[in-house]
Structure 1
Amino acid sequence: MIQRFIELGQGYGDLFELCELMKTNHNRIHHTFVFVSEKDGNKVASVAVALKPVGESKFMPIYICREGIPYNPEKQSKRFEIFENAVKERDQLLITLEVKHSSIYVDPTLYYQYLIGVLRLYHYIPYLH
């Protein structure tokens, strides 16, 4: 099984696209995620949805809005609430993980490989077959 992150943006207008992807593909949702990281003392969130492969395909897309949403569990931003509501409307569990910030990686591809490793480690996505 090949898993690949598809970055939509940083959680501004593209957050609505992510929510629409969840709406139109609700039967394909595997898991929904919030990746919390810290940079310069501020916590930020990436929101993501992993979709099940289509038919006989061995490709699992993971759509993500990377690190553009301020994260504060006591008082969430409106954008985070929009995503959270979309997850609840689809009757999904929102999985929250604390991860390293992408800025410590030279290339976003390395960051996404790290995230895939974390998701496989915790059995949130399947291993390679």
Structure 2
Amino acid sequence: MILNQRFIELGEGYGDVYELCELIKSNSDRLHRTFILSSETHSGHALSLAAAFEPANDGKFMPIYICREGIIQQNTIKSKRRLLFEETAEKVGSTPAVIELKNSSVFAETELFYQYTIGILRINKLLPPLR
């Protein structure tokens, strides 16, 4: 039974992507799914990298770790951070779902962006409904 799904924000830099990849590797048995969330900006597409994990032990909390909009992609060439994330996910058997979203700057608060994103992921059956 999952009672709560929440984003846990990491930073936007290389070190943060490495941390997210390490979380995926060290918790591969709990990995639910990986995501590449894309949004349009005036200078290209802003990419967020995220990984959702099953609740720990008897917990009812599903964490979703995210590096929010730290990668700006202006063309079809994938950045090194995106490639690292995709390779790590594939090594543990996960193909990242690519989802197009509104940019977080559209929302008055970051928490509203996260509620919107969880709703989109649930509607597309990429996250389980709360039970």
What is the TM-score with the length of structure 1 in the denominator? Answer: 0.95
Distance in 1, Cα, partners of 2:75 & 2:59: 37
Cα RMSD, aligned residues only: 1.2
Determine which of 54, 68, 72 is the counterpart of 1:66.
68
Gaps of 5+ in 1: none
Distance in 2, Cα, partners of 1:75 & 1:35: 16
Aligned-pair CA distance for 1:11: 3.9
Runs of 4+ aligned structure 1 residues displaced above 3 Å come to none
Aligned-pair CA distance for 1:12: 2.7
Distance in 2, Cα, partners of 1:126 & 1:77: 30
SS in 1 for 2:108: coil
Residues 86, 95 of structure 2: 8 Å contact kept: no
Count matched residues.
129
Distance change >3 Å, CA 25–CA 63, structure 1 → 2: same
SS in 1 for 2:14: coil
- Give the equivalent residue in structure 2 for 1:21: 23
Aligned partner letter, 1:56: D
Distance change >3 Å, CA 88–CA 72, structure 1 → 2: farther
Gaps of 5+ in 2: none
State the identity %: 46
